[in-house]
Amino acid sequence: MPLYDFRCKQCGHPFTVRASFQQKDAGLRPECPVCHATETQQLLTAVAFIGAESGGSSLPLPMTSSGPACGCGSGGCGCG
């Protein structure tokens, strides 16, 4: 049975709910264990990514520009 991560919109408390796919399809309305509000927001989890693999494209990692990481520009500070 998969797990779903939620965050309470009322108090911001994150919590995990265990529910079947049938329960999820029927409209899962978990209750916050802290303040018992039903205004919750589902968080993206690894479960969601497994189901979204049809795209097949992986984003390339952003390339860092060459040069001193510290920004001194000349290596004068000892970074180079």
Which residues would be at the binding site for Zn ion (CB under 5 A)? 8, 10-11, 13, 32, 34-35, 37
Q: Are 30 and 17 in contact (CB under 8 A)?
A: yes
Report, in this order, helix, strand and coil percent for the chain, each rounded to 5: 15, 20, 70
Of 5 and 68, CB closest to Zn ion = 5
Of 26 and 34, CB closest to Zn ion = 34
Q: Are 9 and 41 in contact (CB under 8 A)?
A: yes
Of 7 and 23, CB closest to Zn ion = 7
